């Protein structure tokens, strides 16, 4: 029985590591795309450089490029809105009953703490 749990735990660690790597690759790709973005063409058209008069200028890229977010988490969401679905997902993905129970406990503890934090913040806003 312990071997089965060890194998499941090892698989879970591998999945988590794989997810982290995928997120890291996505972030690196985003950084490369937005930090090294260069115009695809020169602003001066070569055929026009021999003529007299001002050079023709192409349409420049927009100066402000909004970063794309790969996260489904909305910027204004509460911690509870993010963590509770995470715990539900984790509980459903865990086949080991003991680990599932521990995830349930972690969810309950987190919920109580976040609820208490929200109440304190609401009271301080008044």
pLDDT of residue 58: 61
Asked whether the beta carbons of 39 and 61 are under 8 A apart, the reply is: yes
Give the C-alpha separation, 66 to 39, whole Å.
Answer: 17
Do residues 26 and 117 make contact, with C-beta atoms less than 8 angstroms apart? no
CA 81 – CA 117 distance, rounded (Å): 14
d(CA 102, CA 104): 5
Task: Decide: pTM greater than 0.85.
Answer: no
Residue 103 CB: number of other CB atoms within 10 A? 20
Reduced to 3 states (helix: H, G, I; strand: E, B; else coil), residue 53 is coil
- Per-residue pLDDT for the chain (126 aa), expressed as one digit of tens each? 688 888 888 899 999 999 999 989 888 887 777 766 555 555 555 555 455 555 556 665 556 666 666 767 777 777 778 888 888 999 999 999 999 999 999 999 988 888 887 666 666 765
Residue 39: what pLDDT? 52
């Amino acid at each position: 029985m312990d071997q089965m749990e060890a194998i499941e735990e090892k698989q879970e660690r591998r999945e988590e590591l794989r997810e982290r790597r995928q997120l890291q690759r996505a972030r690196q790709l985003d950084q490369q795309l937005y930090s090294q973005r260069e115009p695809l063409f020169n602003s001066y058209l070569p055929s026009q450089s021999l003529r007299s008069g001002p050079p023709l200028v192409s349409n420049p890229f927009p100066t402000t490029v909004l970063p794309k977010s790969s996260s489904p988490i909305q910027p204004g969401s509460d911690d509870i809105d993010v963590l509770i679905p995470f715990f539900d997902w984790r509980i459903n993905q865990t086949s080991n009953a003991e680990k599932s129970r521990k995830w349930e406990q972690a969810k309950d503890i987190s919920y109580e703490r976040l609820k208490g934090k929200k109440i304190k913040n609401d009271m301080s806003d008044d």
